[in-house]
Chains A and B, each alone.
Chain A
Amino acid sequence: MTANMKVVEGSYAVAHAVMCCKPDVISAYPITPQTHIVEHLSQMVANGELDSEFLTVDSEFSALSVLVGVSACGGRCYSSTTSQGLALMYEVLYNASGMRLPLVMNVANRAMGAPLNIWNDQQDSVGARDVGWLQIYVEDVQEAVDATLQAYKIAEDESIRTPAMVCMDGFILTHVYEPVELLDKERASAFLPEFRPAKILDPARPMTFGAFADPSTYTEFRYQQFEAQQKALGKIESVAREFQETFNRYYGGLIDSYRADDAEVVIVTMGSVIGTIKDAIDAMRAEGKKVGLVKVRCYRPFPAQALRQALKDASVIAVIEKDVSIGAEAGLVTDLKSSFYNSKLRIPIIGFAAGLGGRDITVKDIRKIVERAEAARKGIESEFEFLDLRWEIL
């Protein structure tokens, strides 16, 4: 713990980071486990610490719709949501990305109902992977703070102009108290330039955003979004490096790795479970097992090339993720396999849905996954499975 660190709640730390980004308008609707973030922000506005307009609206649909208007008028925006709230925003998610409005939103990842469940998994945002937003998944509270600042810089870049979600595991990161170095307001301001979009809604010069596009032009707009996400691959990495120069912290830009260089079994995952996996890896390494980790920090755009490079020497890959694509496999494992298929790499990849609806993922679970992965080197028995299914209650 360094001298500048404070023990604070994850939600407070993120709210403080948002304050340092000086949004013009904050619009949000309360939903567990995201509520604390905007509660802290509303307090900051009420206390006069933050000069923003805080809008209390009637739903998540309205929350994001308001920000589409504000962003088109040239205002910097912030919202935060989770689970059913994100689902209610679905239509507006496409509008924001399609109009190329660089909103930033924290998603406090939570399971989707039904069945009703307020605990953590990542079904909500992984399920929204195709809406055209950038998606960054963080490992701990410090990274959530830092990624929030970085997200504005990436999203608002004139060559990218794409909204961004900073996804942090609900409760595990939003409600935990841990030592965090809060952002310094002045350094954050120096890092993040003012939001000055080239085109805005202005009565003096009328313009329509997201206007009608018939079959003769629609494809080209989708292509532009696709191209902007490809450009974001480089920007996410360069902003992470720039952040390192200013704040002396780096988490990898697109991906990161842990003891993966000579690893035979490599685990690929996203989010807060990484802490547990690192502990499990240390224990297994002490026993002589060559196990490593590759962390996917940026899920959209999907860093296919970086992953192929980082995983090329693995003997077997196990993907652990807190989501299921019901009827197929799951988001991350599908994307990873897809990015390997036409390459020269021929590495067995198996996937695990774990931690759904808040079920703990323990060191013992990680060991079990590694055993399964080792067995898969000789031949894959099951490409995708639900970890630790309780057969006795099925």
Chain B
Amino acid sequence: MMEIKAGRLVDPCSTRVTKTGAWRTFVPVVDHEKCIKCSLCEIYCPEGCIHQEDGLFVPDLDYCKGCSVCAHECPRMAISMVLEEK
């Protein structure tokens, strides 16, 4: 829980606490079979929230806004945007 300081004064790294993925409508789903590990999704992600885990590219859903840039850039169309039900 983040402390409320008048004037919205925050210490560095506040977004570790403030998650910003809540307003996402579509969620990227990566087909790791199709993925050729070119890392374009990681490079193009405007939030910088796609990273490698055990050699696989995965979006960090705490921050992913569902913008579809990764899906658009993927040369193998390995990423599909799926309506997220909450």
Listed in ascending order, the chain A residues whose CB lies under 8 Å from chain B are: 98-101, 161, 199, 206-214, 217, 220-221, 224-225, 228
Contacts and interface: CB of A to CB of B under 8 A. Distances in A.
Q: Which 10 A/B pairs are nearest by Cβ-Cβ distance?
A: A100-B7, A211-B10, A99-B7, A208-B10, A224-B6, A206-B12, A211-B8, A100-B6, A210-B8, A220-B4
Given A209-B8, A221-B6, 17 more contacts: A98-B7, A99-B7, A99-B8, A99-B9, A100-B7, A161-B6, A206-B12, A207-B10, A207-B11, A208-B9, A210-B7, A211-B9, A212-B15, A212-B20, A214-B20, A224-B4, A225-B6
Contact of A228 (B6, B9, B15): B6
A221 B10 contact: no
A384 B15 CA distance: 51
Contacts of A220: 4
Contacts of B10: 207-208, 211
Interface string B1-39: 010111111111011001010100000000000000000
Contact of B22 (A161, A207, A214, A221): A214
Interface of B: 2, 4-12, 14-15, 18, 20, 22
Nearest to B11: A207
Contacts of A217: 2, 4
A207 B6 contact: no
Contacts of A214: 18, 20, 22
A157 to B, nearest CB: 12
Nearest to A199: B9
A295 to B, nearest CB: 31
A225 B12 CA distance: 23
A211 B4 contact: no
A79 B11 CA distance: 29
Nearest to B12: A206
Contacts of B2: 217
Given A212-B18, A214-B20, A214-B22, A98 B11 contact: no
Contacts of B9: 99, 199, 207-209, 211
Contact of A208 (B4, B6, B12, B20): B12
Contact of A98 (B5, B8, B15): B8
7 contacts: A206-B12, A208-B10, A212-B15, A220-B4, A221-B8, A225-B6, A228-B6
A136 B67 CA distance: 47
B7 A101 contact: yes
B29 to A, nearest CB: 25
A206 B2 CA distance: 17
Contacts of A161: 6-7
Given A214-B18, A214-B20, A207 B4 contact: no
Contacts of B4: 217, 220-221, 224
Nearest to A210: B8
A99 B10 CA distance: 11
A197 to B, nearest CB: 10
A245 B22 CA distance: 56
B11 to A, nearest CB: 6
